Structure 1
Amino acid sequence: MKVSLLLATLLAFSIPTFAENQAIDLSNATTKAIHVAMKPGEISGKPVLVVTKDPAITAFDEPTFVKLAGREFRNGTIEVKVMSKLLKDAPDFARGFIGVAFRINEDNSRFESFYVRPTNARADDQLRRNRSTQYFSYPNFKFDRLRKEAPGQYESYADMTLNEWIAIKIVVRDDKAKLYLNGGEYPVLVVNDLKHGPDSSGAIGLWVDVGTEGYFSNLRIYPE
């Protein structure tokens, strides 16, 4: 199936307003590719959505995601399983970047995000290990500014690796958010000052960055 026909097929469906404990069928969801390519796939007989960043976008921490339609998300919980593989032409600095954007505004010029760097988690360099997870806020608070102005506050260590499923859970309440991985009881990263403030709301996006072939499955949204 050609990419244009594939995207038209994906866009032809609509999802209902988010309801309590709602599972989102990514193969039938209304989505929009924002500076990414997307296609349906299958792993072990289960459907997945495959996402790669547009190589024309060379900056980091940009609006590069599959955006889901539906009621705006403000507070609640987002759960999704992700798997990151490196593309054959991935640059040396690729880390398998993959995650979730949330509270995305209409023109994609403002959003919050958590993502992971799977290659960092088991590196021999402890500093890299400490940068396995990341929060950023687009457009003014990308990873480099946050790392410079508040070292260690918006990134942390968590165990994970490439080519394996990682269960992501994000809990958002007002100007606070917590990132949990792989069913852990406690968060691996806590942010107490979401940069767009407590009243921000918007869409949810499945986010990737350079060098990543990202796989997404089992998306669930629990709004409050």
Structure 2
Amino acid sequence: MTDVNAGSTFLPLDRLPGGASLRSVTAFAGEIEGRKGLRVGLTGEAAAGVPGVDYIDQPTFVLLPAAFENGVIEVDILSRLTADAPDYARAFAGIAYRISDDADRFESVYVRPLNGAKLNPPGPRVNRGVQYFAYPEWDFERLRVEYPDGRYEARADIGPDEWMHLRVEVEDQRLRVGINGVEALAGAETKAMPASGKIGLWVDIGTEAFFSNLSITRG
């Protein structure tokens, strides 16, 4: 592991990193598809809570002791539904970044593998494989209503129960997202002013996600 506040950081995520904390999630070392990773899911209390208060684009993540404002974050993710997932769950998992000290502000990019093009879901779900949001004002629902052109969500050639590589590039209020080397979101102005903060491994309702090989390159 490199210095979590230096120019670059690498965390294999084969165990919970020292100094990490949990916000409405559980996290355990695990192995799946031949790879070690950190298994993350909502706590029972969060999952049984109120939508939009305890889950759905909320601060539900493993908070890592790594500072970040601009640069590139890359991570491998395998995500799938839990046995008790609600019918609207899509195995939501991704990266939160620029998390404030009290977690009342952050941005996030996450995937919805059950909307992945590999499963050929019906429209418009096929165009909702990856999502950006900015907490607390700009959740996915508001972005979808106010920007029906889809600039903050996009198609992705992914599916559940398989490892995928997520790349998030941030420069002030510009964002580029790639999945498995293919650009998914590009150039849209983000909904939060640049600010230094922490990074989190983010999940939402009905999700069991594994995270591996996190790298951070600060700009």
Secondary structure in 2 matching 1:160:
coil
1:22-37 matches, within 5 Å, as 22-26=9-13, 27=15, 29=17, 30-37=19-26
Structure 1 residues 32, 73: CA separation in 2 closer, same or farther (over 3 Å shift)? same
1:1-224 matches, within 5 Å, as 16-26=3-13, 27=15, 29=17, 30-44=19-33, 46-54=35-43, 55-57=47-49, 58-59=51-52, 60-70=56-66, 72-121=67-116, 122-151=119-148, 152-184=150-182, 187-197=183-193, 199-224=194-219
Q: CA deviation at 1:76?
A: 0.6
| Fraction of identical pairs, as percent | 43
Which segments of 5 or more consecutive residues in structure 1 lack a partner in the other structure? 1-13
Q: Please say if residues 38 and 211 of structure 2, whose CA atoms lie closer than 8 Å, have aligned partners that are also in contact.
A: yes
Partner Cα separation in structure 1 for residue 209 and residue 16 of structure 2: 18
Partner Cα separation in structure 2 for residue 111 and residue 124 of structure 1: 30
- More off after superposition, 122-131 vs 102-111: 122-131
Q: 1:11: which partner in 2?
A: none
Partner Cα separation in structure 1 for residue 16 and residue 124 of structure 2: 41
Secondary structure in 1 matching 2:189:
coil
Partner Cα separation in structure 1 for residue 29 and residue 16 of structure 2: 10
Task: Write the letter of the residue equivalent to 1:109.
Answer: D
Partner Cα separation in structure 2 for residue 112 and residue 208 of structure 1: 13
Task: Write the letter of the residue equivalent to 1:220.
Answer: S
Q: Could you report, residue by residue, the CA deviation over 1:96-151 in whole angstroms, capped at 9, with x for unpaired residues?
A: 10110000000111000001111112233121001111110000000000111111
Which segments of 5 or more consecutive residues in structure 2 lack a partner in the other structure? none
Partner Cα separation in structure 2 for residue 52 and residue 108 of structure 1: 18
Q: Could you report, residue by residue, the CA deviation over 1:138-180 in whole angstroms, capped at 9, with x for unpaired residues?
A: 0000000011111112111011000000100000101111110
Q: Could you report, residue by residue, the CA deviation over 1:54-94 in whole angstroms, capped at 9, with x for unpaired residues?
A: 31343310001001013x20111000000011101111111
Task: Write the letter of the residue equivalent to 1:146.
Answer: L
- Paired residues, what number? 207
Normalised to the residue count of structure 1, the TM-score between the two structures is 0.87
Partner Cα separation in structure 2 for residue 147 and residue 216 of structure 1: 27
Task: Write the letter of the residue equivalent to 2:104.
Answer: S
Normalised to the residue count of structure 2, the TM-score between the two structures is 0.89
Task: Write the letter of the residue equivalent to 2:42.
Answer: K
Task: Write the letter of the residue equivalent to 1:61.
Answer: D
- More off after superposition, 51-60 vs 208-217: 51-60
Partner Cα separation in structure 1 for residue 25 and residue 205 of structure 2: 10
